[in-house]
Structure 1
Amino acid sequence: MDTFEITTKVVFGQDALDYIKNFQDEKVFIVTDPFMVKSGMINKITAYLGSNQYEIFSDIVPDPPMELVVKGVEAVTEFKPNCMIALGGGSAIDAAKAIMDFSRKIGRLEAMKFIAIPTTSGTGSEVTSFAVITDKEKGIKYPLVSNSLLPDVAILEPELVKSVPSSIVADTGMDVLTHALEAYVSTKATDFSDALAEKSVELVFEYLKRSYESADDIEAKEKMHNASCLAGLAFNLASLGINHAIAHNIGGKLHVPHGRTNALLLPYVIEFNADIEGYTPSHYTKAAKKYAYLAKLIGLEGANTRSSVRNLINEIIKLQKEMKMPTTLRECKISAEDLNKSREDIIKGALEDACLITNPRKATHGDILEILHKID
């Protein structure tokens, strides 16, 4: 038996921030990063709140460590808000999720509302029960998974992503595509998660390049914001796979941005999961057939399943090149020496990663090693 449930209320489109007016009389704790304060972006949120009714915790850093979560929990339990707002990218929202969850339990703030406002179109964290916290001493990223991490409300305001640099648009956009594709071929995929993933993939191929090319293309910004949320809903239902299992560990050890790492791996992961070499039409894997269907959905014709999968892979590589993305770890300024030092730890961590459980094809040490060789 399966279930389909969306816990988070999603407010989207231009002027979505108006929804914050509902909390102008509440005591609000805002979790964000220093840039949001320095750039004045935070003012777009506080403008809707009553004076002296909010506190800003702006210590968030990329790959937030547990020590930061503890500091945030201490600040929340002292302030005792009615509502917490997370403003920022995946790091801010993930940190806020952990802070919120522990604060509700430790600080007896069970009734505290939690609102997530993403400022990048990538993680989908605003609608997922996942958060990633880093142990910096061990160089390991720990995924937290619990329905208690789900925000009560997600606000998708396209104006907030207009100023995102093009390189970040590329990284986060490829993260969206990876989320959708991994959810689509997951062993936990259903008709409901597939519908969300398919629409996300369509939107990415139609609007990501436009969003990359123009900061003022508000339609493209809005559509990519929606695509990110849809992919988040899809993988929250179906989970992910080997792409994220490896990316989590590359990020933890080599500190390559998450979306960029996913993009490096994606063509080779599709190739691995599809397992199309030497197969006859009657023996194509389920994953291969689903990749082939997506290729046709975005207008890529193929003579058979094998050629359709190849066309999808080639289209992804083409999109990466058009957005001037690196295609190897060396292009990400990771030396051969650093990679060699970390390779075995990355493989070990990937094999132990929870995302690997729902990958459509079982992976061995040698399989992951081969994928790493292709991106070194």
Structure 2
Amino acid sequence: MARYYFSCPNVYFGDEAITSLSQFNDKRVAIVTDDFMVTSGKTRYLINAMPQASVCIFGEVKPDPDIDILTAGAACFKAFKPDVIIALGGGSSLDAAKGIKVTLEEFYENHPIELIAIPTTSGSGSEVTAYAIISDPKNGRKYPLISENLVPDIAILDPNLVLTVPRHVAVDTGMDVLTHAIEAFVSTGANDFSDALAEKAIALTWRYLPQVFNDEKDIAARTHMHNASCMAGMAFNSAGLGLVHGMAHAIGGMLHIPHGKINAMLLPIVIDFNSKQARPDTRDRYHRCAQIMGIDHAVPEQAIAQMTQAIRQINRHFGIPATLSELGTDRAKIDALRQALVSSALADGCTASNPRAATAQDIEALISLIAG
């Protein structure tokens, strides 16, 4: 019998979730975020919930944080010696905070730091995972770091913090949620616990993401998507991901494409690849995904084909291109990077749990498909 792992931080959710910060009223609290969260007053929203805390803010996180951001953040907090680090923002801020936390703990040695994750987008699931994506801009790559030490102690899901996320960002990150859930469900590491969360995340995303697209201020739809993102994060933290993410880290890093967008573009292509020559259990799992999405064809292969078509249609509805050429990427640049993309995707930790083993030739063929 295989051994599996499942972790679940304390999760506070709902309109009053932010009030849970009151438990840190007598602590030294470091906040890791970006400049917008500082200037827009979002950090003040947190501070008001713990008015007696001593607070220090590092607000210099940029998209796709690299090692320089982690070093700068750790330097900002070294003299402060925080008891708690609060990560506020999207996946970049959460990933940066994870890296800063472990950097500081190595520096202090015997001073453990509690990590609180407060996502302001509904996508990465980083608030409950052992993953952090750190960029290497010199080589145009993104590296997933995986360690139990990166799992936050507490996640706070406050839907009021995602209401201002623009429509195009909400759909990109929302399709990231769908990708997380489907990949976790068909992963070689899938298990009873991850399955339950992945299935619910698929159902919530397929129902409520179009509602967010239609009405950015729909608080109920935003709440469901925020919860779905967290559930999908718990699912893939236990089960692993797959080739969509393995290729997305490579393509997104080298061609500078938002992570959720490239995931959405790759998802139907990789499902098509995985479902061919698929083991019966993989085929059955994709069939179950289709059923959750309201596709109830009795023949699994037909249901899977209809599912990939439905994903392509919803991408089109959301304005997400089908190919890199449609996105405006220079084909010559893709060709020049082809071998590096293949090598990076093969080496990516997410690729290892894909339900169908992929060769270099397979990935080359998939790159040609996504190139358009």
Q: TM-score, normalised by structure 2?
A: 0.96
Cα deviation, residue 333, structure 1 = 2.6
Report the residue type matching 2:285 in the other structure: K
Counterpart of 2:22 in structure 1 is 21
Render the CA deviation track for 1:198-231: whole Å, top value 9, x for unaligned. 1100001110110122122111001000110010
Q: Relative to structure 2, which stretch is displaced further, 46-55 or 178-187?
A: 46-55
Cα deviation, residue 143, structure 1 = 1.2
Counterpart of 1:322 in structure 2 is 317
Counterpart of 1:331 in structure 2 is 326
Cα deviation, residue 17, structure 1 = 0.5
Please list, as runs of the form range in 1=range in 2, the aligned pairs for 1:288-327 lying within 5 A after superposition.
288-327=283-322
Residues 275, 285 of structure 1: 8 Å contact kept: no
Q: Which runs of 5+ in 2 are unaligned?
A: none
Distance 2:111 2:302 in 1: 53
Counterpart of 1:237 in structure 2 is 238
Please list, as runs of the form range in 1=range in 2, the aligned pairs for 1:47-62 lying within 5 A after superposition.
47-50=48-51, 53-62=54-63
Distance 1:208 1:152 in 2: 28
Distance 2:361 2:333 in 1: 20
Report the residue type matching 1:333 in the other structure: G
Counterpart of 1:266 in structure 2 is 267
Distance 2:356 2:280 in 1: 9
Q: Secondary structure at the match of 1:110?
A: coil
Render the CA deviation track for 1:238-291: whole Å, top value 9, x for unaligned. 111110110001122111000000011000100011116xxxxxx863212111
1:344 to 326, 339, 346: 339
RMSD over aligned Cα atoms = 1.5
Distance 2:154 2:87 in 1: 10
Q: Relative to structure 2, which stretch is displaced further, 339-348 or 146-155?
A: 339-348
Distance 1:242 1:5, change over 3 A: closer
Residues 140, 249 of structure 1: 8 Å contact kept: yes
Counterpart of 1:142 in structure 2 is 143
Distance 2:95 2:246 in 1: 17
Distance 1:359 1:210 in 2: 31
Residues 115, 152 of structure 1: 8 Å contact kept: yes
Count matched residues: 370
Cα deviation, residue 62, structure 1 = 0.7
Residues 177, 229 of structure 2: 8 Å contact kept: yes
Counterpart of 1:207 in structure 2 is 208
Please list, as runs of the form range in 1=range in 2, the aligned pairs for 1:91-106 lying within 5 A after superposition.
91-106=92-107
Counterpart of 2:89 in structure 1 is 88
Residues 35, 61 of structure 2: 8 Å contact kept: yes
Q: Secondary structure at the match of 1:79?
A: coil
Counterpart of 1:113 in structure 2 is 114
Q: Relative to structure 2, which stretch is displaced further, 110-119 or 2-11?
A: 2-11
Residues 64, 91 of structure 1: 8 Å contact kept: yes
Distance 2:3 2:33 in 1: 36
Distance 1:76 1:109, change over 3 A: farther
Q: Which runs of 5+ in 1 are unaligned?
A: 277-282
Q: Secondary structure at the match of 1:117?
A: strand
Cα deviation, residue 3, structure 1 = 4.3
Distance 2:264 2:238 in 1: 22
Residues 4, 189 of structure 2: 8 Å contact kept: no
Residues 274, 355 of structure 2: 8 Å contact kept: yes
Counterpart of 1:66 in structure 2 is 67
Q: Secondary structure at the match of 1:42?
A: helix
Distance 1:372 1:229 in 2: 30
Q: Secondary structure at the match of 1:14?
A: coil
Please list, as runs of the form range in 1=range in 2, the aligned pairs for 1:130-279 lying within 5 A after superposition.
130-275=131-276
Q: Secondary structure at the match of 1:61?
A: coil
Residues 123, 177 of structure 2: 8 Å contact kept: yes
Q: TM-score, normalised by structure 1?
A: 0.95
> 4+ residue runs of structure 1 moved beyond 4 angstroms?
none
Render the CA deviation track for 1:186-206: whole Å, top value 9, x for unaligned. 111111111111110000111
Residues 171, 263 of structure 1: 8 Å contact kept: yes
Cα deviation, residue 320, structure 1 = 1.0
Cα deviation, residue 298, structure 1 = 2.5
Distance 1:74 1:273 in 2: 45
Q: Secondary structure at the match of 1:6?
A: coil
Render the CA deviation track for 1:36-62: whole Å, top value 9, x for unaligned. 112222221121233671111011001
Distance 1:231 1:61, change over 3 A: same
Distance 1:146 1:284 in 2: 30
Residues 251, 257 of structure 2: 8 Å contact kept: yes
User: Percent identity of the aligned residues?
Assistant: 42
Report the residue type matching 2:138 in the other structure: E
Distance 1:356 1:284, change over 3 A: closer
Q: Relative to structure 2, which stretch is displaced further, 114-123 or 40-49?
A: 40-49
Residues 284, 305 of structure 1: 8 Å contact kept: no
Distance 2:93 2:279 in 1: 41
Q: Does 1:286 align with 2:272?
A: no
Q: Relative to structure 2, which stretch is displaced further, 284-293 or 189-198?
A: 284-293
